[in-house]
Structure 1
Amino acid sequence: MSSFDELEPVLVHHIVNTLGWSGLRPLQEEAIGPLLAGDDAVLLAPTAGGKTEAACFPLLSRMAKSRWTGTSVLYVCPLKALLNNLLPRLETYASWLGRTAALWHGDTTTGARKRILATRPDVLLTTPESLEAMLVSANVDHQAFFSGLRAVVVDEVHAFAGDDRGWHLLAVLERMQRVVDRPLQRVGLSATVGNPEELLDWLQGSGAGKRPARVVAPHLRAPERPPTGAPAPAPPGDIQLDYVGSLDNAATVVASLHRGEKRLVFCESRRLVEELGEKLRAKGITTFLSHASLSLDERRRAETAFAEARDCVIVSTSTLELGIDVGDLDRVIQIDAPTSVASFLQRLGRTGRRPGTSRNCLFLALDESGLLEAAGLLLQWSRGWVEPVAAPPEPRHIVAQQLLALCLQEHRVGENLWQEWWHGLGPFGSGAEPIVRHLVEEGYLERDGGLLFIGPEAERRFGQRHFMNLTTVFTAPPQFTVLHGRSEIGRTDPSLLTERIDGPRRLLLAGRSWLVTYIDWKRKRCFVEPADGGGKAKWSSAGFGLGTSYEVSRAVREVLLGTDPPVRLTQRAMRSLTEAREHFLERVHPGGTLVVRESDGQMRWWTWAGHRTNATLAATLDDVAVPGQRINDHWLRLREDVTPASWKSRTAGAADRLCLPEVDERAVRGLKFSETLPPRLAEATLSARLAGVESAVTVLAEPVRFVAM
C-alpha cells in the first residue's frame, strides 16, 4: 500500500479530484509515515518543492483521525507576507475536512482577533513575536486557547535557526509545551542546508535525543559528490556570470534582455533596489519594487500586479527570496553576489517551475569585488557545498528577554522554578543565574517572598503599548514614515531629512522621486508630493555585516589562482577575471598566505579567510596587527616593522591563545536587550558571534611568505 493511502480518505479524494494530482511528490510521500506517527521532522526540498503540503496533509489527517479539537496546529513563519500568501491554501485544505485556519500577526485587526479567540481555528498561522504576544496579553486566556495544541510547523526553519529569532522561537515553544503540559510535535520546513541533522536537533529543543525524529530529504539521495578541490561537472540549470561595471549598465542589460518575460531581480540593499527600479522605469520597463521599508499596501500592490503581468520586472531585496508566491517566473537576475550559497539556492528555485523550463540565474557584477564574490560563491555551489546553519552562540540577551516575558505572562514566578519553563534548554538553564541576579539588582525584576515579578525598570523601558517592544527580538533602526496625502508609501532613514542640502529636499522611494513638503518631527512622519527626479535613497543597517564566509573567501582565492566556476561566463566576465588575476597575482599563492609590503610601504597579510577569521586573527595578533583597523574579508594590515623573524616569534603558539574580537561600544548598544545584561556579558555575547576560531587555527597553521612589491 502506498503511503498516500494512509492519509484521511476525504483528503485523498480532494487531492486527486480537486487539485487534480495523480499522486504526491517524493517528499510528500515520504513525510506521511513519520508525521502520522507523531515524529519530529525536518522536511528538506528546493524552493517550490511542495513542503507545505508535505507537512499539512499528514497533520490534517492526524487531526481528523485523532479528533483533535480547538487550535491544535500552529503554522509559524518568519514573514507576515509569507503567512498572508499561505492562508488561502491552508484554509482550503482544512475546509476539506470541515476544519478552519486563521491568521494572527501584527497586521491582524482587533475585530479579526476577537473572532479568532471566540471560535478557536484548528490551524493558526502566526509569527513567533505574535505567539509570545498572545502568551503575555491580558486579553488572551492562553491556557484555554492553546489547551488543544498538538503540533507546530515551522516554515523556513533555516531562516530562524541562523539568528536570534531562532532562540526566541525555541524558548517560546518550550513555554508553550509547559502551558499545554504535553510535548509538541515539531515539523520544520527548509531549503537545502549543509547540516540537516543538526538543524533537526536544534528544532527539537529540549526534546533532542528524547523524541523520535527524522530528516526527510529525498532530493539529496544522489550520486557521490566529487571531493573538495576536484573539478566538478556543471550543475543543472542555466547559470551565467556577466560583468557590467555599473548600475546604469545593469539597468541597460535588464531592460534589453528577455523582453516579453517576467524577470525577478535581486539586489543586496534597499538603496540599490530603489536606484535600479528608477533606472528601469526611465527606460520604459514595467517595473515593480519590493523591500522591507515599503508600506504593506505598496508591496502587496507590486506583488499582485507582478503576478498578473507578463512583460515586466520586479526588483527586490531578500524579501522575495522565501516562499512568497509571485506567479510563474521566467528569469532570475542577481546584482553582484548574494550573501550565501543557501540564499542563492532559494533564489534559483524561483525559476524552472513550469514543465519544459529549467532553473536559471544571470549574475550581473557591478565591479571587480562583486565579480570575484559571485565567482567564488558559484564555485562553492558547483561542488554541492551549502553553509551549515548554526545558532548564534551565547544568546544571553534573549535569556534576559525571556525571563521578563515569562514574568509578564505568569505575573509571579518562583525564584527557584523559572528554569522549569524551558525544560533544560541550553542557555536557559542554571547558567542564566547571573542574568537573573543582574535583572533584580537593576530593577528589571523584583523579588519578594521567593517570587520574581516585573520591576519598575522593565515598566519604564518596555512598558509602552502593553510591552510590545519586549516581544520583538530584533532591532530596527529609527525610520520616518513617508506619506503622500493619506497614503503611506514607506519609510526612510532620518538622515535624509536632516543632512544639509542646497535646494529642495527629494526622496527616492517605491522607485519614484518625491519632493518633501512637510516634516512632522514629533510623530516621525514626512509628507511628499511627486517630483520629476533627483531623489535619494538611504537606510541605515540594523545589524553588523560579517562579510564573506571563510569557505567562499577561499573559493575567491581559487578563482584568482585560475579556477573558473563551471557556469557560462560572458566575454566581459572572462576579460574582467583575467584583469583581476593580474591585479592580485602577487597576493595569492596556493601554498599558503602572503605578507606583502605594498608600494606605499603598508604591510598587508593576505589571508583570504573571511571577516570572522580575520577579526579573530587581528585580536589574537594585536602586537602585530595595526590596532583599530576596519576588518575586511581578504587581508589584515600589519605594523610596518614586521619582519619574517619577528613574525615567526610573535605568531608562535598563537593558535593556542586565540582571542575573541574586540567589540565596539556602538555595536553593544545595537544588540536588542543589551541593557538588561551586565556590560561584560553583553560584550562577551557579541565577541563570540564575531569570531571564526576554527578557521583562524587553520590559517595560522599555513606557511607564510613575505613579498615586497
Structure 2
Amino acid sequence: MSDQHAAAQLSSGLQYHVVNTLGWSSLRPLQEAAISPVRADKDCLLIAPTAGGKTEAAVFPVLSRMIDEGWSGLSVVYVAPLKALLNNLLPRLEQYAGWLGRRVALWHGDVGDSARRAILSDPPEILLTTPESLEAMLVSRRIDHRLLFRDIRAVVADEIHAFAGSDRGWHLVAVLERLQRLANTPIQRIGLSATLGNPESVLQWFQGSNAARRASEVVSAGVPPADPVIALDYVGSVENAATVISALHPGEKRLVFCESRSSAEELAFALRQRGVTTFVSHSSLSLDQRRQSERAFAEAQNCVIVATSTLELGIDIGDLDRMIQLDSPRTVASFLQRLGRTGRRPGATRNALFLSTDEETLLSAAALLSLWGRGFVEEIEPPPHPRHITAQQVLALTLQEGRITRSAIKSWFSGSPVMAESDVILDYLIDEQFLARDGDWYFLGPRAEQEFGGRHFMELLSTFITGLDFAVREGTKEIGTVSALSLTSSVKQGIQPLLLGGRSWLVSDISWDRRVIQVSEDHSKGKTRWASESLPESFDLVRARRDVLLGANPPADLSRRAMNQLAKCRDEWALLVDREYSVVERRQNDSVLWSFAGLRAHETLSAALPATSVISTTNDAMHFCPDFDFQLLDEASVSGAVPRISPEAVDGLKFSQALPLAMAVTTLGERFADRAGASEVQKQKRIVLSKSG
C-alpha cells in the first residue's frame, strides 16, 4: 500500500486480505485518515464524498481493534436508516469479517424467526440493524438483553445526516444511552456521512453522554470529485418528461428521482407506454416488488429505474450512466446524495439532468443549483424539544424493565437532552394512566395498553407515523399499498384503474375491514394518491429563488426551453422582486408583502402580530388585511414567537397522545419556528406599489 504507516495500523490479517483478496494497492484517503482516531477509541464522524469508502473507513479499524484487543461476543452494532441499505451491506461486511473468523448477521423487520433464533443462540460479532429493531430487541420478553448486549464495544451509524434531522435521530441517541447502560465498557460511537454543513455539532449531538467523557474527532478526507455535468430543461409535464427520457441516452442505465410516489408512478407508466424498460422503487411498493426492481435494474442495461428518495442513501444498484431529476429535490444535501450515484466507474463523470414540469419547479431547481454553485450545504439541526420521544422512551424503558423508578429513568439516559422535561411528562403519564404506580415503582398502565399495546407494542417502537393504507394484491401477490384517497367512486366501481408499480390495476374487490384491495392488471392509464403535504421551503432556498427571478442563472447548461421559460417568469415577477427592498403590493382585498423568506419565517412573524392582521402566508409572501399598518411589523417581537398550530395538527406528531395537548401543540409550533428568518423580514426595507385590482 502507498501509505505503509496507515496500513500498518490495521491488523496483519486484515491488511493481508485488503492487498491480496481485494487487490487494493492503497486505501482511500478517508480510510487512511480514520484508522488512527478509530483505533484510539475516539468517537468519530467520518465524512467523504459519495463512494469515498466510508463503510470500510469505519469497519476496517473496528475489526482491527476486535482482533488485537480480543473482543468477544456481540461487539459491534451497525445501524442504518433503511433496511434496504443494511441488506445491501451484508455480503460486503460478511466478507470482511469472515477473513478474520468473525461473523455478521442481519436483524430487522423482514428477518424471519429462524434467523433470529440462530442469532440469539450464537450471537455474531457484528449485528446490522435499524434503531427501531434495536429497541424491539431491548423490550422483547424472548431476549435476555443484558446478556446479549453486555459486550458491545462500538456502534456505527451510517448516513447519520438522515437520522440527525428527524425524530429518528432523537430516538437513536436515546436508545444508545439505554444500550450503554447494559454494556460492560463505554461504547465508541462512529457516524458516517457524505454531506454535512455542520459536522462538529452533529458529532456532539450523536455523542450524547459520551461528549463529557470521551475524546472525539471529525475526520474529513477525500479528493473532491471532478466538476459534474449539470443540465436544466423545462418540459412542462410528466408526459413530456417521459418523451425526453425515452429519447435520450438509449442503451444507458438511467436513474430518475421523483419528489412524490404519485409522480413516480405516473412517469413509470408513461415510460413503459413508450417501450422503455422501466422499474419502480418507492416506499409504498411491497418488499418483493422493490427487490425485484432493484435487482433487475442492477443486472440490466438500457433501462430506467424511477424512484423516490428510497434510493438516495447509498444502496448499490450497480453502475449508473445518468441521474435524472424530475422537478427539484428539497435540499442541496439531497441533490448531492443523488448526484453521487453517478460517476463511480473509472473515467465516468458525475452528471444530472433536471426536467421541470412547471414554472414553480423550474424556479426551485434553478434556485437549488444556484445554492449548490456557491458551495452551500444545509446545516443539519435535530428538531427542538423532542418531548413526544421523551414520553415514548419512558414507556419503552418501562416495557423493557417491567417496572421502573423515577430516579432510575434519569440514570438510564445519563442526562440525555431527550429527558430534559421528563419530570413534567412523567407526571402526565401517571395522571393519564399510561403508567400505574405502586409506591416508588411505575408499571405500564391501562392507557398505554389501549393506545400502544397492539401487536406486542409495535406502535410504541416506531417513530414513523403509519397511515391506514390499503394493501393491493393480485391474487396472493402483494404489489404495494395505496391511500384511501385513491379510492374514488370510479376506482371502487372498477371503472378507473389504480396506478402502482408503474402498471395499472382494476379493482375487483375491496375488503374494508382487512384493508385489502384485490386487483387485476389493466392497460389504460390509472391514478393513485397518497396522503402528503407540501413542505415549507427554507429561507435560503426561497431567497435563492428570488435571486433567480432577479436574473441570476444557475451554474448549469440551460436548454433553450428553460431559458425562455425563465425569461417569461422574470417578466411576470418583475414588479414584485427587488434586490434591496421587500415589495408591498396594496390591493383591493389585501396587502401583500413579497418578502421571500419561506413559510416558517412568515408564520413565525405572523404569530408575533395581532391574530386578525395576517390573512395567509406562503413561502414567498405574507397576505395582510388591506389597511395593515406595517409599523406593527417593525415593532413585533419575534424572539419568543411560536407559530400558531391547530390542535388537530397534533395527529401528525407520533406519540402525541402521551403528552398534554397544550404541550404537543407548543412542540409542533416551536419546531415550525424560524425566528432568524422572521427577523430578516423585519430588517428588510420596503417599497410600496400603488393599489391594483
- 1:696 paired residue number: 678
**Conserved 8 A contact 1:655-1:700:** no
Residue among 201, 204, 207 paired with 1:204: 207
Deviation of 1:432 (Å): 1.5
- 1:488 paired residue number: 478
Deviation of 1:375 (Å): 0.6
SS at match of 1:604: strand
Deviation of 1:622 (Å): 3.5
Please say if 1:174 is aligned against 2:174: no
Residue among 114, 117, 120 paired with 1:117: 120
- 2:559 paired residue number: 570
**Conserved 8 A contact 1:655-1:696:** no
Aligned length: 687
Equivalent-residue separation in structure 1 for 2:285 and 2:634 (angstroms):
53
SS at match of 1:215: strand
Equivalent-residue separation in structure 2 for 1:577 and 1:616 (angstroms):
31
Question: How does the TM-score come out when normalised to structure 2?
Answer: 0.97
Please say if 1:706 is aligned against 2:692: no
- 2:5 paired residue number: 2
- 2:451 paired residue number: 461
Residue among 375, 379, 388 paired with 1:384: 375
- 2:574 paired residue number: 585
- 1:47 paired residue number: 50
Residue among 512, 518, 529 paired with 1:538: 529
Equivalent-residue separation in structure 2 for 1:198 and 1:269 (angstroms):
31
Equivalent-residue separation in structure 1 for 2:469 and 2:597 (angstroms):
35
Equivalent-residue separation in structure 2 for 1:355 and 1:71 (angstroms):
38
What one-letter code is carried by the residue in structure 2 that aligns with 1:442? E
Please say if 1:647 is aligned against 2:635: no
- State the Cα deviation string for residues 294-317 of structure 1 (Å, max 9, x = none): 000100000000001110000000
SS at match of 1:587: coil
What one-letter code is carried by the residue in structure 2 that aligns with 1:256? A
**Conserved 8 A contact 2:596-2:620:** yes
Equivalent-residue separation in structure 1 for 2:646 and 2:611 (angstroms):
19
- State the Cα deviation string for residues 149-203 of structure 1 (Å, max 9, x = none): 0000000000000000000000000000001143210000011211011111111
- State the Cα deviation string for residues 571-603 of structure 1 (Å, max 9, x = none): 1111111111111101111112111135x6432
Please say if 1:95 is aligned against 2:125: no
Residue among 248, 252, 265 paired with 1:261: 252
Please say if 1:551 is aligned against 2:554: no
SS at match of 2:324: strand
- State the Cα deviation string for residues 441-490 of structure 1 (Å, max 9, x = none): 00000111201111111111111111111100110221111111111100
Where does the alignment leave 5 or more consecutive residues of structure 1 unmatched? 223-234
- 1:616 paired residue number: 604
Equivalent-residue separation in structure 1 for 2:308 and 2:556 (angstroms):
24
SS at match of 2:614: coil
User: Which stretch of the first structure deviates more once superposed, 617-626 or 502-511?
Assistant: 617-626
- State the Cα deviation string for residues 412-455 of structure 1 (Å, max 9, x = none): 111222111110011314x3211000000000001112011111
Equivalent-residue separation in structure 2 for 1:480 and 1:672 (angstroms):
20
- 1:626 paired residue number: 614
- 2:464 paired residue number: 474
Residue among 272, 277, 289 paired with 1:281: 272
- State the Cα deviation string for residues 117-163 of structure 1 (Å, max 9, x = none): 01100000000000000000000001001111000000000000000
Please say if 1:606 is aligned against 2:594: yes
CA RMSD of aligned residues (A): 1.5
Equivalent-residue separation in structure 2 for 1:174 and 1:64 (angstroms):
26
Where does the alignment leave 5 or more consecutive residues of structure 2 unmatched? none
**Conserved 8 A contact 1:625-1:636:** no
SS at match of 2:596: coil
Equivalent-residue separation in structure 1 for 2:64 and 2:169 (angstroms):
28
Deviation of 1:545 (Å): 4.1
Equivalent-residue separation in structure 2 for 1:319 and 1:697 (angstroms):
36
Please say if 1:16 is aligned against 2:5: no
- 1:684 paired residue number: 666
Q: How does 1:353-392 map to 2 (within 5 A)?
A: 353-392=344-383
Please say if 1:239 is aligned against 2:230: yes
Equivalent-residue separation in structure 2 for 1:69 and 1:47 (angstroms):
32
- State the Cα deviation string for residues 255-309 of structure 1 (Å, max 9, x = none): 1001110000000000000000000000000000000000001000000000011
Equivalent-residue separation in structure 2 for 1:115 and 1:658 (angstroms):
54
Equivalent-residue separation in structure 2 for 1:336 and 1:63 (angstroms):
47
**Conserved 8 A contact 1:587-1:606:** yes
Question: How does the TM-score come out when normalised to structure 1?
Answer: 0.95
- 2:652 paired residue number: 670
Question: Closer, same or farther in 2 for the Cα pair 1:410/1:591, shift >3 Å?
Answer: same
Deviation of 1:625 (Å): 3.9
What one-letter code is carried by the residue in structure 2 that aligns with 1:696? A
SS at match of 2:458: helix
Equivalent-residue separation in structure 2 for 1:446 and 1:601 (angstroms):
56
Deviation of 1:505 (Å): 4.4
Equivalent-residue separation in structure 1 for 2:564 and 2:512 (angstroms):
51
Deviation of 1:497 (Å): 2.5
- 1:86 paired residue number: 89
Q: How does 1:391-410 map to 2 (within 5 A)?
A: 391-410=382-401
What one-letter code is carried by the residue in structure 1 that aligns with 2:652? G
